[in-house]
Amino acid sequence: MPHSSRKGAMDSARKALRTAIQCLCPSPGEILEGVYSSQIDGFFDIENVVYYNVETATFRIPAQHGLRARRCRAHSEALTPGFAHRMDYRFVSKPGIPENPLVHLQFDPVGFRNVFDIWWAASNGKATNAGAVSRKFGLYVELGNQHRNPAAKMKILLDGIISALQQDFAPDPVAVSRLSQKHRVGSALIERRLADPILHTIPQSRRTRLVRPFGAGVQWHPADDLCEEWTIALTDEDRPDCNAYIYALPELSG
């Protein structure tokens, strides 16, 4: 599913999909799961394909308790000639916290305006580490129920958390300066946190800086393409804190 700004042949399918999804309403204890299946590999973010490119406002009611995305490779074009990609949406019981996580990161999100807000809050949180990510990984995020429409916060939340667990050993000075000026945080503090993160657990997946100049601002490049399964679940508690867990996935996701 391409981004909605790219007007083309998929627009009618996107509109029909939005109409169908907006009619869905979860029962208590259920979250919305979107599964993208294809045997085609490449660089892409599962949250973009399943949610963001459909438009996040679509999921305000269906994902009111939380949402989940999974990447699998079970669908074969040989079974449906001309259709190499498949997406399924269903309600599932809210999964529990993963057993034996590689990382547990706890922080208080102070804003959801951009990736920096989450990255900075997560970078100054509390973290425990049981191992580094060596392959595809999953991410489980638990938020208090005061956070409404988690689909709208999804992309910033995931990018910020993953960025906080990556190292940019030689931060771009222009990007650092722009972040400092915009967010009123000292350049030295930002540079130090990029070069020495709270945990260096997730490897870079692309040959680019974690954050670099883009236009008049900056652009973040977290290794979220390595994240092939994630959950954002709202708790029953009225609290602002966020708990994030990184866990290993099998070599092949089915």
pLDDT in tens, the chain (254 residues): 777 666 677 788 888 899 999 999 999 989 999 998 888 776 668 888 899 888 899 999 999 999 999 998 888 888 888 888 888 999 999 999 999 899 999 999 888 899 999 999 999 999 998 888 888 899 999 988 666 788 988 999 999 999 999 999 899 999 999 999 999 999 999 999 999 999 999 988 777 789 999 999 999 999 888 899 999 999 877 777 899 999 998 865 44
What is the phi-psi region of residue 217: left when phi exceeds 0, alpha when psi lies from -120 to 50, beta otherwise?
beta
In angstroms, the CA 248 to CA 129 distance is 13
In angstroms, the CA 151 to CA 232 distance is 9
In angstroms, the CA 31 to CA 25 distance is 10
Q: Is 242 exposed, middle or buried (0-12, 13-18, 19+ CB in 10 A)?
A: buried
Do residues 36 and 123 make contact, with C-beta atoms less than 8 angstroms apart?
no
Q: Tell me, what's the pLDDT at 254?
A: 47
Q: State the Cα angle at 30 between 1 and 114, rounded to 5°.
A: 50
What is the phi-psi region of residue 208: left when phi exceeds 0, alpha when psi lies from -120 to 50, beta otherwise?
beta
Q: Which residue has the tokens 């529990």?
A: 96
Do residues 1 and 10 make contact, with C-beta atoms less than 8 angstroms apart?
yes
Q: Which residues pair with 218 in a beta bridge?
A: 213
Percentage helix, strand, coil for the chain under 3-state DSSP, each rounded to 5: 30, 25, 50
Q: Which residues pair with 248 in a beta bridge?
A: 137
Strand 211-214, strand 86-93: pairing = unpaired
The pTM (predicted TM-score) of the whole model is 0.90
DSSP 94: P
Q: Tell me, what's the pLDDT at 85?
A: 82
Of the candidates 121, 107, 117, 102, the residue with the CA atom closest to the CA atom of residue 200: 102
Q: Tell me, what's the pLDDT at 144?
A: 80
What is the phi-psi region of residue 242: left when phi exceeds 0, alpha when psi lies from -120 to 50, beta otherwise?
beta
Q: Which two tokens stand for residue 179?
A: 């972040």
Size of the chain in residues: 254
Beta-carbon neighbour count of residue 23 at 10 Å?
A: 8
Domain boundaries, the chain: 11-93, 103-248
Q: Which residue has the tokens 């990255």?
A: 119
Q: Tell me, what's the pLDDT at 43?
A: 60
